[in-house]
Amino acid sequence: MNPRALIAEDEPILAATLAKTLGQLWPELEIVASAPNGLVAVEQALALRPDILFLDIRMPGQTGLEAAEELTERWDGPQPFPHIVFVTAFDDYAVQAFEQAAADYVLKPVSAARLGKTVERLRGLMEARDAAGAGGLGQLLGQLQALLPQAPAATAPQRLTTIRAAVGSVVRMIPVEQVVYFQAVDKYVNVVTQDAEALIRVPLKELLAQLDEKRFLQISRGTVVNLECVLAAARDDLGKVMLNLRGRPEKPRVSPVYAHHFRQM
């Protein structure tokens, strides 16, 4: 079967140019879809199961990095995880860092010569069936996230000691050390203790910045666990890392991006 690719690019002209150039360099490659943002790209990738993803780094709604991270969490089944080529407008210093990473990149505006090298690399990977592993992708995401422009350093927020959460008409005062894990649920965060649950209307990202990083660890895009409540980490039949938590029956899954935190010492 011919290799299949998906392009995620919010600028239609650039997406069309990339598809056209790929068609010239790699006629056998089938472009199965073109997504305008990361959110659509994730759903299309899960539905179409392409062999290759061309992901723009900066897209509205969800970046290429975030889309790749979500895919590592949701990808299942026997088909290997797709090879990822990031599309970027970064300057030379970032390009050098990309070249040291585990995936390829395409610099905007797309150069046919540079894209030709990408095609050669992808052909080799496809022939060898050496699909990119989730652990390697996690390492790559960490490298790329470090390249993104950072917001100016702000005064460190005061660490939370108590969570004020509504349970019906009652506001509970929950000591942070009693929280087993936090779970993002739509516009809310579910605060889970050993014997109860409660909702707060605070974005998980904002909440995470106020937690003690030595005690609380993000294990997926929507879950943060209290490390003192983690009894064990085990792999299921599909190789996914699952956590056993003190006092809770749930076994939250660890995203491959964060699985390195639970490797044997």
Tell me which DSSP letter residue 2 carries. Answer: -
Based on the fold, state whether residues 30 and 122 are members of the same structural domain: yes
On whether residue 154 sits in a domain, the answer given is no
How far apart are alpha carbons 251 and 205 in whole angstroms? 22
Say if CB 102 and CB 137 are below 8 A apart: yes
Tell me which DSSP letter residue 238 carries. Answer: T
Strand bridging mode 83-88 / 104-107:
parallel
pLDDT at position 120 is 94
Give per-10-residue mean pLDDT for the chain (265 aa).
94 95 97 96 96 91 86 84 86 58 75 94 80 52 60 63 88 95 93 94 91 94 96 86 96 87 77
User: What is the amino acid identity at position 178?
Assistant: Q
Say if CB 180 and CB 248 are below 8 A apart: yes
pLDDT at position 135 is 46
Based on the fold, state whether residues 134 and 220 are members of the same structural domain: no
CATH no. for residue 192? 2.40.50.1020
Query: Domain boundary at 83, 115, 147, which?
Result: 147
Based on the fold, state whether residues 25 and 92 are members of the same structural domain: yes
On whether residue 204 sits in a domain, the answer given is yes
Query: Domain boundary at 112, 147, 182, which?
Result: 147
Q: What is the side-by-side order of every strand in the sheet holding 241-245?
A: 230-235, 241-245, 253-254
Say if CB 134 and CB 83 are below 8 A apart: no
Range of the domain at 77: 4-147
pLDDT at position 31 is 97
